[in-house]
Amino acid sequence: MLSLRAMFFFGSSMRRGFTFFRSFLFCATLATAASAQPAPDPGAAEKQFAQMMASEHGLDAAAVLETLHRAQYRQSVIDTMTRPAEAKPWKDYRPIFVTQRRIDDGAAFLEAHRTLLDRTGKQYGLPPQMIAAIIGVESNYGRTPMRYRVLDALVTLAFYYPPRQTYFRSELVQLLLLHSAAFPYAPEDLMGSYAGAMGWPQFMPSSVAKYARDGDGDGKIDLWNSLPDICASIANYFEAFGWQTGAPVALRASVAANARAIDPKGLDPVYPLQQLAEWGYTTDAKLDPATPATLVRLDGEDGPEVWITFRNFWVISRYNKSPLYSMAVYQLSQAIAAAARTP
Catalytic residues: 138
Q: Which helix (H) or strand (E) holds 157?
A: helix 150-160
How far apart CA 223 and CA 146 sit, in angstroms, is 12
C-alpha torsion angle, residues 196, 63, 223, 242 (rounded to 10): -70
CA distances from 102 to 107, 309, 316 (A): 8, 24, 19
Q: Which residue(s) pair with 297 in the sheet?
A: 306
How far apart CA 208 and CA 174 sit, in angstroms, is 9
Write out the DSSP string of 166-221. HHHHHHHHHHHH--SSSS---GGG-EE-TT--BTTTTB-HHHHHHH---SSSSSS-
Question: How many CA atoms lie less than 13 Å away from 189 in the CB half-sphere?
Answer: 8
